[in-house]
């Protein structure tokens, strides 16, 4: 008699309406249950049966209930699905296709079918791009996805690259050049500097050579530096199809093993690249460096033709300066260039040590790969004196461009860094007092005060303090108008020295040319700035993801199973510690349970980056510890380790 009773239905609806609701993000667990995170401090338990309607990452509204004196939630309404467009592996059973999303906490087998535009035949183990079209919390009986594109066959050796690029929506091929793209279009007069002894210093296998330099020592001890930069905007018209492609890509994407150029290789590695003994159009800048290392106001920008006299490698030049190895400069004139450049570099380092901020030398790691993408080894590389020579020359050129743009236009693409905001400045001051370092917030929010703080910290050379201070700093950014760069220690900074590889530098080239020829300059928009920043973020994430994938494959080798490694702690979270292997740069995770077995006795303090056991500080960020690899998970690209006591 109660079946389909409208009064009973209304009563149930009213009772349900009175149940409290919460909104949050679903966090799943490998054991089938999950949590609804309402904020950083509060979460609610989701039982396994309730997890069947939702996925990790979904934003939902849920009913808050009490079962057996425990608060739980029951998913009620989907606000936003975590999965939309995604990549995954195909599973084929009884002629039915499933796709398993390639996300650490998303292992749902989703039934799927190729859409009408996807003609690829999918097999078990293939990789594909899919789109979620049905969700259980929307009233659908199943999760369902459409397959849009095959990424790779299951036995493709370059799966880490193709899958990662597809996930981050990054092009995997170079742009295709049309005949008109390879024609020099500018008719501006250019100075003929082909007789000068310009040289380039790069990695031995570099093909896209952006910059060449020439130095001359004046009788009064000053050094005249001429920086010549490749000129792709002489080929690429503003607003053209290729210009739009360059903006979309924004950068040459440097990945382990190879790069994906921003411009067609015919331009980036041939017509524009400053190869030795080839006449090339350039945008150049002539700068006087005074005897104390400061930059003179006598700065000139102009267009020119140059012919590099030699392509030198970082290692050869460093060996010769350091009097090691057998390499010698090919001619006396090139030898003279290297000697003057070395003196210029030391002058600028000394000046920046007093007046700006110096970089700390850090190890860099590079994968040595076979032709089929297998990791042979991981090479450790250090910044040597020749790297610093080129770095100082480019810094001088970029400071000069920033000033030139500011004086003549008041806009461009500037690299800015604001240091600390007012709240974080107070936190920094409070933190430093623990180490008897006395600063005030007003002081370190000025460029001069920030630089002074950094110089003091460089002298102190305490990696833990350096790390905590960096946590308080703002992020670097691009700006259309001039602004300071606290981390470099300069009032303004605008890069123009890598136009083959960076679209922002192409923009600044066009602005510099407009000033030189007294033409109208078009101010770049905030939209362009946003696009460049977004693409930079994607490229960085892709490089990190591919590296993590390659490290898991590399360290899976038998010879590393029982090997002990030294590692530097890089982060502390509430679940454990992250560290970087010093030998090869791999990132590892040490769960809290493998740091100390009794959970009640360990305190993982994320705020201070320290680990306390029984209220005694045992580990902190920057500590060097010895570890052994415990579990290498290829499916999630995670490396789990334990501390070796």
Residue 30 and residue 44: Cα distance in Å, rounded?
Answer: 17
Catalytic annotation present for 210: yes
Helix (H, G, I), strand (E, B) or coil at 422: helix
- Active-site choice (58, 102, 197, 208): 208
- Rounded to the nearest 10°, the torsion over CA 627, 630, 636, 637 is 50
Residue 397 and residue 395: Cα distance in Å, rounded?
Answer: 5
Rg (CA), the chain: 29
Contact 488, 429 (CB under 8 A): no
Residue 252 and residue 392: Cα distance in Å, rounded?
Answer: 22
Catalytic annotation present for 377: no
Joined together, the tokens standing for residue 626 give 């010895």
- Active-site choice (211, 319, 505, 545): 211
What are residue 143's DSSP bridge partners? Answer: none
Residue 172: HSE in the Cβ half-sphere, 13 Å Cα cutoff: 15
Residues 6+ apart with CB under 8 A from 585: 363, 364, 365, 378, 380, 551
Residue 536 and residue 586: Cα distance in Å, rounded?
Answer: 22
- Active-site choice (58, 210, 231, 319): 210
Phi and psi based region of residue 212 (left: phi greater than 0; alpha: psi -120 to 50; beta: remaining) = beta
- Active-site choice (126, 202, 231, 545): 202
Catalytic annotation present for 126: no
Contact 203, 255 (CB under 8 A): no
- Active-site choice (44, 82, 235, 314): 314
Length of the chain as a residue count: 645
Instruction: Tell how strand 310-313 and strand 199-202 pair up.
Output: parallel
Catalytic annotation present for 140: no
The DSSP string of 392-412 is: HHHHHHHHHHHHHHHHHTS-S
Contact 641, 581 (CB under 8 A): no
Q: The tokens 């003609």 sit on which residue?
A: 119
Catalytic annotation present for 501: yes
What contacts 24+ positions apart, CB below 8 Å, involve 23-27? 23/59, 23/60, 23/61, 23/62, 23/79, 24/59, 24/60, 24/62, 25/57, 25/58, 25/59, 26/51, 26/54, 26/55, 26/56, 26/57, 26/58, 26/59, 26/60, 26/75, 26/82, 27/56, 27/105
- Active-site choice (501, 510, 580, 637): 501
Backbone angles phi, psi at 405, to 5 degrees: -65, -40
Q: What distances in angstroms separate CA 611 from CA 407, 599, 627, one per listed residue?
A: 51, 12, 16
Residue 633: HSE in the Cβ half-sphere, 13 Å Cα cutoff: 14
Nearest to 274 by CA among 332, 342, 190, 213: 213
Question: What residues are annotated to the active site?
Answer: 202, 208, 210-211, 314, 501
């Amino acid at each position: 008699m109660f079946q389909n009773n409208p009064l009973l239905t209304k009563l149930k609806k009213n009772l349900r309406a009175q149940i409290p609701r919460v909104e949050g993000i679903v966090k799943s667990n490998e054991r089938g249950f999950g949590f609804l995170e309402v904020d950083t401090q509060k979460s609610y338990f989701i039982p396994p049966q309730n997890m069947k309607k939702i996925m990790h990452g979904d934003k939902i509204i849920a009913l808050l209930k009490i079962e057996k004196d425990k608060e739980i939630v029951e998913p009620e309404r989907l606000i936003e699905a975590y999965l939309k467009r995604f990549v995954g592996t195909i599973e084929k059973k009884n002629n039915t296709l499933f796709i398993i999303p390639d996300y650490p906490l998303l292992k749902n087998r989703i039934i799927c079918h190729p859409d009408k535009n996807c003609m690829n035949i999918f097999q078990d183990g293939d990789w594909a791009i899919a789109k979620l079209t049905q969700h259980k919390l929307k009233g659908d009986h199943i999760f369902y996805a459409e397959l849009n594109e095959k990424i790779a066959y299951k036995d493709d050796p370059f799966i880490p690259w193709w899958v990662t690029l597809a996930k981050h929506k990054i092009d995997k091929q170079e742009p295709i050049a049309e005949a008109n793209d390879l024609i020099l279009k500018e008719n501006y007069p250019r100075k003929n500097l082909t007789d000068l002894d310009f040289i380039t210093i790069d990695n031995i296998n570099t093909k896209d050579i952006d910059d060449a330099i020439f130095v001359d020592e004046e009788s009064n001890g000053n050094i005249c530096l001429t920086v010549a930069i490749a000129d792709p905007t002489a080929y690429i018209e503003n607003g053209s199809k290729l210009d739009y492609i360059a903006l979309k890509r924004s950068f040459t994407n440097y990945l382990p093993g190879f790069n994906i150029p921003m411009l067609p290789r015919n331009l980036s590695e041939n017509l524009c690249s400053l190869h030795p003994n080839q006449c090339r159009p350039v945008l150049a800048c002539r700068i006087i460096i005074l005897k104390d290392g400061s930059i003179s106001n006598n700065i000139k920008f102009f267009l020119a033709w140059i012919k590099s006299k030699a392509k030198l490698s970082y290692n050869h030049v460093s060996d010769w300066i350091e009097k090691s190895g057998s390499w010698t400069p090919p001619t006396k004139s090139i030898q003279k260039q290297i000697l003057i450049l070395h003196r210029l570099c030391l002058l600028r380092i000394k000046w920046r040590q007093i007046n700006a901020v110096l970089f700390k030398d850090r190890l860099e790691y590079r994968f040595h790969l076979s032709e089929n993408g297998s990791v042979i080894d991981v090479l450790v590389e250090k910044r040597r004196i020749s790297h610093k020579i080129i770095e100082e020359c480019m810094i001088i050129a970029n400071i000069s461009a920033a000033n030139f743009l500011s004086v003549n236009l008041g806009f461009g693409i500037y690299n800015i860094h604001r240091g600390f905001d007012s709240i974080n400045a107070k936190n920094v001051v409070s933190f430093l007092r623990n180490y008897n370092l006395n600063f005030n917030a007003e002081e370190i929010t000025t460029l001069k005060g920030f630089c002074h703080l950094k110089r003091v910290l460089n002298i102190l050379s305490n990696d833990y303090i350096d790390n905590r201070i960096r946590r308080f700093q703002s992020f670097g950014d691009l700006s259309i108008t001039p602004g300071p760069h606290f981390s470099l220690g300069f009032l303004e900074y605008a890069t123009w020295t890598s136009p083959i590889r960076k679209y922002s530098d192409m923009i600044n080239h066009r602005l510099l040319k407009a000033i030189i020829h007294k033409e109208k300059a078009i101010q770049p928009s905030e939209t362009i700035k946003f696009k460049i920043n977004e693409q930079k973020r994607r490229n960085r994430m892709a490089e990190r993801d591919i590296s993590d994938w390659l490290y898991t494959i590399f360290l899976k080798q038998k010879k590393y199973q029982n090997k002990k490694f030294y590692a530097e702690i890089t982060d502390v979270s509430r679940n454990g510690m992250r560290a970087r292997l010093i030998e090869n740069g791999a990132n590892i995770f040490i769960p809290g349970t493998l740091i100390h077995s009794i959970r009640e006795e360990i305190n993982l303090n994320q705020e201070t980056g320290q680990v306390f056991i029984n209220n005694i500080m045992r580990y902190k960020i920057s500590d060097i510890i010895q570890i052994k690899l415990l579990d290498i998970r290829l499916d999630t690209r995670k490396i789990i380790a334990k501390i070796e006591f």
